[in-house]
Structure 1
Amino acid sequence: MKTFNVPVIYRSPLISAIKNQRKQEDRMKKDFTPTELDFGPIRILLARHFGFCYGVENAIEIAFKTVDENPGKRIFLLSEMIHNPHVNNDLLGRGVQFIMDTSGNQLVPWESLQHDDIVIIPAFGTTLETERQLALLGIEPLKYNTTCPFVERVWNKAEQIGKKNYTVIVHGKPKHEETRATFSHSQAGTPTVVVKDIKEAALLAEFINGQRKPDEFYDLFKGQYSPGFDAAADLQRVGVVNQTTMLATETQAIADYIRQVMMATFGLTEATVGERFADTRDTLCYATNDNQTAVTGMLLEPADLAIVVGGYNSSNTSHLVELCEEKLPTYFISSPEHILSGSAINHWDFHHKREISSNSFLPEKDRITILLTSGASCPDALVEGVIRRLLSFYGLEHKADELATID
């Protein structure tokens, strides 16, 4: 796989040494057990896979290279390049401006842009409408494009089944930049509707099998369907794609459920189900799959708590938190600085979108075990920082330096 030129500030000698050793031991990536870091009174189990993915490293390389090669030019990002505050703040610090926030609200008026300005498309991609807006301003929309190849793969799958007259069902968060982009690309070629979870999929199924009248669809799915969507006609043939960072298990559950609904409603068999349900297979990216599977493997080990590191608005990171929360106390932090002491921690409650404080988060035991992972947009340097912070409470920070030299 291609290697990228990522700023050294995001790298970690310690984490690189650990990852390289695991790669040598498990080249086929079949072992999802965590890496054990035993420091005596504190034992850290590090997920097999975590941190920057291909798409994130690709985006970072393009963005920083663009800044370096265009001194004196105005450089804009459509919105946050990835959902990590450290990376975004570094770009802002180098003079890059955001045109929109993550919800699509305008921060820089379109009319203030000039034809010779540079506009970078984030890793999430963007809508066709935004591409047209840039073109109208004389700005080549795809010249500085950091869209993740795995996001583009979803767009291609939606286009393929759309050409075969299937309606596209997108499993994603309706307001997320990636889902908005996927919806835009899909609805350009075929009727499209977004479902955010299995509950909305079940609701949509009631329109497929006729339990609900078509007229009810438009209020229940307001803002989540393409213009001209016909609830009576456009749910006769469907296929499911997704926002690449969703929970793999939920996406699969939604696809399997809708498939069964189509079979039951239209009297299909395994041999004929393709007449009504497109075989899209899994459109999650490899990193999402690997990171979630690694957390599942990590959770098989007895532990006292879990720490997940990443941006608070990161979808893929929040799903790792969800998985951990099912089994044990979990603390979602964006940086080591949120660990205030051996007893106090400030962490993110993503269910209620607020930061909360907890005391006595490290149990008073002779030996504690902590599960540790991070999201696909989180620099390894932050994970090393968390390890060092935890070790400092036991006077063991020097042990991190020893580990960084392993062959």
Structure 2
Amino acid sequence: MKTFNIPIIYRSPLISAIKERRKQQDRMKKDFLPTMLDFGPVQVLLARHFGFCYGVENAIEISFRALDENPGKRIFLLSEMIHNPHVNQDLRQRGIRFIMDTAGKQLIPWDTFRPDDIIIIPAFGTTLEIEEQLQARGVTPLRYNTTCPFVERVWNKAEAIGKKDYTVIVHGKPGHEETRATFSHSRAHAPTVVVRNLKEAQQLTAFIRGTEPPGRFYEIFKGQYSNGFDVEKDLQRVGVVNQTTMLATETQSIADHIKEVMTEVYGLSPANAFDRFADTRDTLCYATNDNQSAILGMLRENADLAIVVGGYNSSNTSHLVELCEQQLPTYFISSEEKMLSRHEILHWNYHTQQELHSSGFLPEKEPLRIMLTSGASCPDALVEGVLRKLLAFYGLEDKIDEMVKHYTRQNEGTAK
């Protein structure tokens, strides 16, 4: 896989050394058990896969290249490049301005742009309508296009099945930038509807079964279906694609449920099921799969709590939190600054969209076992920062440098 030129401020010597060691030991990525970092009184279980994915590294490299290649020019991002506040703030400090917020609210009017302005498309991609807005003003929107290739693969799949007369069902969060972009690209080729979870998928299949009056569809899915959607005609042949950062098991459950209903309603057999239900199993991002599988592998071990690091508006990170909190106390933080002391922490509750202040988050026991991971848009430097602060609470911060030397020697020995 291609490697990218990522600024050193986002990297971690320790995390890089550990990831390189695991890569050498498991090149086929079949081992999802965590790495045990034993610091004596504190033991940290580090997830097998976490941190910057291909799409994020690609976006960061292109954004920094845009800065380097265009001194003196006005440079804009359509919205947050990725869902990490530290990376986005870094870009702002380097002079990049944001045109919209993550909800799509306009921050800079379209009529202020000039043909020589540089516009960067974020990793989530953008809608066809926004591309047209920029082209109408003489701006070339695809010159610095950081859209993740795995997002584009979803668009291509939606187009392909649309051309075969399937309706596209998008599993995603309707307000998320990626889902808005996918919806825009999909509806250009096929009737399209967005479902946010299994419950909405079950509501949708009630219309396939004919157990709900057709008019109810337009109430339940208001704002989530393409223009001219005909609920009585457009649900006879369907395929499911997804926002690439959704929970893999939920996407699979949605696809399985819809396929089962189609099989029941139309009397299908395994041999002809795809006459009514398109095969779209390849649309979930590899990093989403790997990171979620790594969480499941980590949860096979015993621990006292989990810490998940990432942007609070990061979809892929929230799903890692969702998996962890099913089994043990879990704290979702954006950086080490949220750990106020050995006893107090600020952490995000993604269910209520609130930051909570909790006491006693580190149990008084030895050895204390902590699971640690991060989202696909989180720099490894932030994970190391969390690790260093945790160890500082116990007077163990010097152990980090020893651990770096340990893994570096192991990697050098393997290379020889």
Tell whether the structures are fold-level matches, with TM greater than 0.5: yes
Residues 205-354 of structure 1 mapped to structure 2, 5 A cutoff: 205-354=205-354
| Greater displacement, 196-205 / 66-75 | 66-75
Structure 2 regions of 5+ residues with no counterpart?
411-416
Alignment partner, residue 116 of structure 2: 116
Distance in structure 2 (CA, Å) of the matches to 1:174 and 1:104:
12
Distance in structure 1 (CA, Å) of the matches to 2:378 and 2:11:
10
Displacement of 1:366: 2.3
Note if 1:162 corresponds to 2:162: yes
Distance in structure 2 (CA, Å) of the matches to 1:347 and 1:84:
15
Distance in structure 1 (CA, Å) of the matches to 2:119 and 2:2:
25
Displacement of 1:111: 0.4
Please give the secondary structure, in 2, of the residue aligned with 1:404.
helix
Q: Deviations over 1:205-236 (max 9, x none)?
A: 00001001111100100000000000000000
Residues 13-162 of structure 1 mapped to structure 2, 5 A cutoff: 13-162=13-162
When normalised by structure 1's length, the TM-score is 0.99
Displacement of 1:403: 1.0
Q: Deviations over 1:52-76 (max 9, x none)?
A: 0000000000001111211110000
Distance in structure 2 (CA, Å) of the matches to 1:194 and 1:113:
32
Please give the secondary structure, in 1, of the residue aligned with 2:174.
coil
Displacement of 1:148: 0.1
Distance in structure 1 (CA, Å) of the matches to 2:272 and 2:23:
43
- Aligned-pair identity (%): 72
Distance in structure 2 (CA, Å) of the matches to 1:278 and 1:56:
29
Instruction: Check whether the contact 1:45–1:298 (CA below 8 A) recurs between aligned residues.
Output: yes
Amino acid at match of 2:100: M
Residues 357-376 of structure 1 mapped to structure 2, 5 A cutoff: 357-376=357-376
Amino acid at match of 1:333: I
Alignment partner, residue 184 of structure 2: 184
Displacement of 1:282: 3.4
Distance in structure 2 (CA, Å) of the matches to 1:108 and 1:135:
16
Structure 1 regions of 5+ residues with no counterpart?
none
Q: Deviations over 1:157-210 (max 9, x none)?
A: 000000000000000000000000000000001000000000000000000010
When normalised by structure 2's length, the TM-score is 0.97
Distance in structure 1 (CA, Å) of the matches to 2:356 and 2:87:
23
Displacement of 1:393: 1.0
Distance in structure 2 (CA, Å) of the matches to 1:373 and 1:153:
27
Distance in structure 2 (CA, Å) of the matches to 1:28 and 1:403:
25
Following TM superposition, where does structure 1 have runs of at least 4 consecutive aligned residues deviating by more than 3 angstroms? Answer: none
Distance in structure 2 (CA, Å) of the matches to 1:85 and 1:216:
40
Please give the secondary structure, in 2, of the residue aligned with 1:388.
helix
Distance in structure 2 (CA, Å) of the matches to 1:247 and 1:281:
14
Distance in structure 2 (CA, Å) of the matches to 1:143 and 1:20:
33
Please give the secondary structure, in 2, of the residue aligned with 1:282.
helix
Amino acid at match of 1:295: I
Displacement of 1:118: 0.4
Instruction: Check whether the contact 1:252–1:282 (CA below 8 A) recurs between aligned residues.
Output: no
